[in-house]
Amino acid sequence: MLRLDASTLDYGILAIYFAVVLGIGLVARLTIKSDIDFFLSGRSLPAWITGLAFIAANLGALEILGMAANGAQYGVATVHFYWIGAVPAMVFLGLVMMPFYYGAKVRSVPEYLRLRFGEFAHAWNSASFAVATVLISGVNLFALALVLHLMLGWSLTVAIFVAAAIVLAYITLGGLTSAIYNEVLQFFIIVASLLPLMLVALHDMGGVEGLKEKVRHSKLGELGLHAWQGLAPGHVTNPIGGDWIAMVMGLGFVLSFGYWTTNFAEVQRALSAKNMSAAQRTPLIGAYPKIFIPALTIIPGLIALAVIPKLGTPKGASYNDAIPILMGRFLPNGALGVALAGLLAAFMAGMAANVSSFNTVFTYDIWQTYIRRGRRDRYYLNVGRAVTVAGILIGIGTAFIASGYSNIMNYIQLLFSFFNAPLFATFILAMFWKRTTPWAGFFGLVAGTLGAGVMHFAGYHIAYFYKDQVFDPSHSMINAQMLNFYGAITAFVADLVVTVAVTMVTRPKPVAELAGLVWGVHDPNAPDPDSVPKPAWWASPKLLATVSIGIVIVLSIIFA
């Protein structure tokens, strides 16, 4: 088993990082009265900060360990998770959906649903969000435990409990108040940890050509170097193992739009921007780093495949271990410390964000709204504290679920197909079809989640979802990733059909109550568009969007 030999210098670097992060939290608590004030007098952050926080909120455990795992398992086609699985949705969020979120002055995504559809859709969404968050927080806990396991040699079980204790301490000491600041700081630290690792390892491989040669001779083969070849439905030869329908519709359209345009943690970052234009630019600025992050995750994944014997087989290391193993192999003390600080920071922040959003939604959207109304503030504060501890305890349980997956990305995609895919259908209809009724909003969401569930269980009995389309009664050759993508498509279609059908037979909300929430219904209280300062031509949302899509098209052709 591998041990990272961290030295005093590495621990010093780690200690400084935690001192700074906890220090920000403590000072923030002492000097600033409310969360809103902390974000520089409410909505007042410039677009570059919210843009980096937007992308950093996503650059957590899943991204770093999971995408490197995908790179090793599926090869260059993993870029689909970035170029068709993220950038188009981020552009859509910025250009099309942000005006409704920001214009309606909501503070969270469930709150938009409450204003638009009322209590039933809101209650369902809050409850399913709470479940999804607890399940995902387990992934972060597991990833943190994995690093402790590799770094210090503890067993995974012990490491999961210790990781939970660290997260609890971090949250209690005020790590939550300063979330956005930590995220921006974390973005730079993660780049400073992954960039040298990628460059040193690539140099060791003999440069790009040397790496290509090694991948050709690995189990991925020539197609492991191509993103778009071998994706024909029914005859998939690319290691990614999904046909282009699953890629473009499942990943690119339903899952990606569902995640990026309705995810609480992501959208929240844009809502703290200082004006509408900055809010729109938040995901658009985030799109640029997103285009290039695959170089920092997929390339190390491919290198791991070349240098770690038996990676991804029952006898060797799991794909999830790729990045920590490479760090131990290539980084000397010093650079190793920075790398560890980056990894640990990402997990803390990811887990803290999960716990805080679970906490907020459970305490205010569920407990206060539907279970115990009208108590004092102090009562809800205590409920919130209890929920934080409970959330972490449940997270320990779900961490063991996550540890059962050799590629955590597949587990994440499964969760997203259940919880995020239906949301996007509901939001599109909510924002662009003013007739969509409150009951339709509720039943559409329910139908979407049920649809994903039915597809998931039915898929195990359909030969199409097995390797080489050959049914395997033991289910061990199931193509989990492709099934997840089709599950997402099912959820989306079920939500769409049921929402439209129910809308036809129920009564819509009066148009007056939809002001600012729906396309084409003007909000009489909205500021005059001419009175809002226009950004410079180079910062116009449309230009930023066009250039980012252009870069993605050029890169897709190069790596086809």
Partner 1 sequence: MPQSAAAKLFDIRLLIGGLFTLYGLMLTIAGFFTSDSAREKASGININLWLGLGMLALGLLFLLWRRVNPLRIEPKPVEQPAAERNRRDLP
Residue ranges in contact with partner 1 by CB under 8 A: 9, 12-13, 16-17, 20, 24, 27-28, 31-32, 37-38, 40-42, 44, 49, 103-106, 111, 115, 181, 184-185, 188, 192, 196, 199-201, 203-204, 329-335, 338, 364, 368-369, 377, 380-381, 513, 515-516, 523, 525-526
Find how far residue 109's CA is from the centre of its chain.
15
Taking the complex as a whole, the smallest distance from the CB of residue 42 to partner 1 amounts, in Å, to 7
Tokens representing 293 are: 């992050």
Taking the complex as a whole, the smallest distance from the CB of residue 341 to partner 1 amounts, in Å, to 9
DSSP classification of residue 178: T
Taking the complex as a whole, the smallest distance from the CB of residue 359 to partner 1 amounts, in Å, to 13
Provide the 3-class DSSP secondary structure of residue 231: strand
CA dihedral of residues 224, 255, 279, 298 (deg, nearest 10):
-20
Tokens representing 467 are: 């390797």
Nearer to partner 1, 247 or 273 (CB): 273
Taking the complex as a whole, the smallest distance from the CB of residue 532 to partner 1 amounts, in Å, to 11
Number of other CB atoms surrounding residue 249 within 10 Å: 17
Taking the complex as a whole, the smallest distance from the CB of residue 30 to partner 1 amounts, in Å, to 8
Q: What residues contact residue 381 under an 8 Å CB cut-off, 6+ apart?
A: none
Taking the complex as a whole, the smallest distance from the CB of residue 306 to partner 1 amounts, in Å, to 13
CA distance 331 to 116: 52
Provide the b/e sequence for 380-414 (b: ≥16 CB within 10 Å): beebbeebbeebbebbbebbeebbebbbbbbbbbb
Taking the complex as a whole, the smallest distance from the CB of residue 507 to partner 1 amounts, in Å, to 18
CA distance 436 to 426: 9
Provide the 3-class DSSP secondary structure of residue 540: coil
Contact 39, 179 (CB under 8 A): no
Contact 336, 235 (CB under 8 A): no
Provide the 3-class DSSP secondary structure of residue 215: helix
CA distance 535 to 548: 18
Nearer to partner 1, 274 or 290 (CB): 274
Nearer to partner 1, 21 or 429 (CB): 21
Taking the complex as a whole, the smallest distance from the CB of residue 289 to partner 1 amounts, in Å, to 15
Q: What residues contact residue 389 under an 8 Å CB cut-off, 6+ apart?
A: 168
Nearer to partner 1, 35 or 472 (CB): 35
Provide the 3-class DSSP secondary structure of residue 34: coil
Nearer to partner 1, 77 or 331 (CB): 331
Tell me the β-bridge partners of 225.
none
CA dihedral of residues 465, 471, 475, 476 (deg, nearest 10):
-90
Nearer to partner 1, 25 or 487 (CB): 25
68 CB-contact burial (10 Å; exposed 0-12 / middle 13-18 / buried 19+)? buried
* CA dist list (Å): 523 to 256, 438, 520: 30, 20, 9
Length of the chain: 560
Nearer to partner 1, 101 or 418 (CB): 101
Taking the complex as a whole, the smallest distance from the CB of residue 542 to partner 1 amounts, in Å, to 25
Taking the complex as a whole, the smallest distance from the CB of residue 103 to partner 1 amounts, in Å, to 7
Find how far residue 503's CA is from the centre of its chain.
31
Question: Could you give the count of Cα atoms lying within 13 Å of 140 in the half-sphere of its Cβ?
Answer: 29
Alpha helices (H) along 205-271: 207-216, 244-245, 256-262, 264-271
Find how far residue 488's CA is from the centre of its chain.
16
Nearer to partner 1, 213 or 468 (CB): 213
Nearer to partner 1, 181 or 288 (CB): 181
Taking the complex as a whole, the smallest distance from the CB of residue 9 to partner 1 amounts, in Å, to 6
Nearer to partner 1, 104 or 555 (CB): 104
Nearer to partner 1, 337 or 459 (CB): 337
Nearer to partner 1, 380 or 433 (CB): 380
Nearer to partner 1, 335 or 430 (CB): 335
Nearer to partner 1, 37 or 472 (CB): 37
Euclidean distance between the first and final Cα of the chain, in Å?
37
Taking the complex as a whole, the smallest distance from the CB of residue 37 to partner 1 amounts, in Å, to 7
Taking the complex as a whole, the smallest distance from the CB of residue 415 to partner 1 amounts, in Å, to 28
Q: What share of the chain is helix, strand, coil (3-state, %, to 5)?
A: 75, 0, 25
Taking the complex as a whole, the smallest distance from the CB of residue 167 to partner 1 amounts, in Å, to 22
CA distance 47 to 536: 13
Tokens representing 239 are: 């290691």
